[in-house]
Structure 1
């Protein structure tokens, strides 16, 4: 048999069948295949499974080992996430954790039940409930420990990487090191707290990298597109860690981020009223005692002085105020 032919089969049409197709008819031109459009940039990277690719960095070096985008991909598919921060949370700690929890719950593919919550160890700022709203939060009381039966798929630590500042959670974290990540802006930390780290020491507050993490999680093109209830706590952290934009850590990047958050709907005026304009009578009486104790101590022979004020435990008791 001719090797260039194959058999058609059996029946009246049996016989050799040429391997080569007939040329198309002139009156029926062949259609060109539709070109494949590139995927959006946000979906070009495959969602990595944990553990993600970790940069080759010495184990105890306080540097980034992954990126915000990779971290966002990992968190998207986690069903339960706990977000932690340092003991005695400040504005940056509260703002970054609330924003991330809200972004994770808003983007959850598992239905309306919240999949993320923030855990705090006190003492707590007096304005916490005013900015928390309905965000899922668990507070640890004095000498309380996290419930060991809660075993989330991911633990994210924000605004710290220090075992000392994480003391109430330390034993609980050590049992979950393989599913723990850190996003921080401080120049020092304990690298063994988490293998996955995003450390941005150029940021004035943890809320700066966390803002971009929220943007990646929600798939948004800019911070100005963030929902207002996510932009507001991010602005809180940025404002409080810069002394309401008066400290030396204020940069062009800080002001650009703040502007985008305000454009997104951050309630900057309300935040200032909640955090800075709610002095209790006890604190005002304590301030009066502190000012009354002021002494000017010579610093050098050029007329420079430093102001020294002191408060005792008795002052706190008499003023009806509490330390913290």
Structure 2
């Protein structure tokens, strides 16, 4: 059901200062949605800050050319983040995805708003504007702009197009439907250039990133009669190849290119010695439910969670959960995975 944006339109009209936030390890949907929304609010004369729990990855720096996105704890304190009229959380509604921003949301007296398209959800004490049928939060922000009577600039359209294109796997995932394509077409009409955005996203790889990809893909293993594929990344891999943790983005989807594979996951060792696990499915298997077993969540076909180490234990735990969640073979209908 389409979102009734009028309550949020009223909130925007009644307030002046806004803080925008998204999830840890922000992807292009998170950053593009924040940048697009910031510009839309500023077109209405509002004061906007963007404060995230994680730094933006280097390969998405083109979305924030003026480097306006701040990381909590680096130049901005909890108290400073609380000093606003409205705090909008975009592209997540899960406490586990907010890390230290939880301290802000629990302490602030500001009006709290969530704009999200993920299935997994917690009660953040916010007014929710959620549509799980939307392919990306960027779609929702574009629709909100229309409700606010604001026409996005070319820069804002590019940010929102990036959000949508990445969360749909450049429009090849099953969450791509007519609404997605109509929204993308409107953003192109407003100045987004798909060829330029694609080049920024996918054709500026570093040698270090290519070396990392080769190492990780060489570890791909299949289980469950070929229906499950997985790989992993250790911290030493980043050091030895000179790569960055953000260079693992989308690698899990390569596991699904193996013929007969229905689901996949990748474990990435963190500085904390925990392991970030990204789950993918291209069947009726609901990996959001698997992720929720470990305090994570996301979409039915793309989710994530954090697991404690050591590696052998994390791998054993995830393998067991994924194998248990695999549907009977007779019921499988294969299709590509969605974005996390």
Once residues 149 and 143 of structure 1 are traced to their aligned partners in structure 2, the CA distance between those partners, rounded to angstroms, is 10
Q: Which residue of 2 aligns with 1:320?
A: 242
Displacement after TM superposition at 1:117 (Å): 1.7
State the match for 1:95 in structure 2: 32
Whole-angstrom CA distance in 2 between matches of 1:312 and 1:129: 25
SS at match of 2:61: helix
| Change in CA separation of 1:105 and 1:178 when aligned onto 2, cut-off 3 Å | closer
* Alignment partner, residue 183 of structure 1: 115
- Which 10-residue stretch deviates more, 272-281 or 286-295? 286-295
**Is the alpha carbon distance of 1:313 and 1:154 closer, same or farther for their aligned partners in structure 2, counting shifts above 3 Å?**
closer
Structure 1 Cα separation of the partners of residues 21 and 137 of structure 2: 13
Show the counterpart of 2:13.
Answer: 76
Residues of 2 paired with 1:286 and 1:233: CA distance?
Answer: 27
Give the structure with the larger strand fraction: 2
Residues 100 and 290 of structure 1, relative CA distance in 2, 3 Å threshold: same
| Structure 2: 5+ residue stretches without partners | 247-340
Q: Which runs of 5+ in 1 are unaligned?
A: 1-62, 109-113
Count how many residue pairs are aligned between Structure 1 and Structure 2: 246
Alignment of 1:1-324 (within 5 A): 67-108=4-45, 115-134=47-66, 136-140=68-72, 145-148=77-80, 150-176=82-108, 179-191=111-123, 193-217=124-148, 219-220=149-150, 225-295=151-221, 297=222, 299-300=224-225, 304=226, 308-324=230-246
What corresponds to 1:15 in structure 2? none
Q: List per-residue Cα deviations over 1:252-279 (Å, max 9, x = no partner).
A: 1111111111111112222111121121
Distance 1:283 1:177, change over 3 A: same
CA contact (8 A) 2:82 2:108 kept: no
CA contact (8 A) 1:87 1:168 kept: no
116-125 or 228-237: bigger deviation: 116-125
Q: TM-score, normalising length from structure 2?
A: 0.65
Distance 1:294 1:180 in 2: 42
- Give the CA RMSD over aligned residues: 2.7
- Tell me the TM-score normalized by structure 1: 0.68
- Work out whether residues 85 and 110 of structure 2, in 8 Å CA contact, stay in contact via their aligned partners in 1: no
* DSSP-derived class of the 1:197 partner: strand
Choose between structure 1 and 2 for higher RCO, CA contacts under 8 A separated by at least 6 residues. 1
**Rg comparison, structure with higher value:** 1
Do the aligned partners of 1:86 and 1:159 also contact (CA within 8 Å) in 2?
Answer: yes
Q: Are the equivalent residues in 1 in contact too, given 2:82–2:107 (CA < 8 A)?
A: no
CA drift of 1:135 comes to 7.0
Deviations 1:225-264 (A, max 9, x none): 5321221111111011011111111111111111111111
SS across alignment from 2:23: coil
> Is residue 116–residue 136 contact of structure 1 (8 Å, CA) maintained in 2?
no
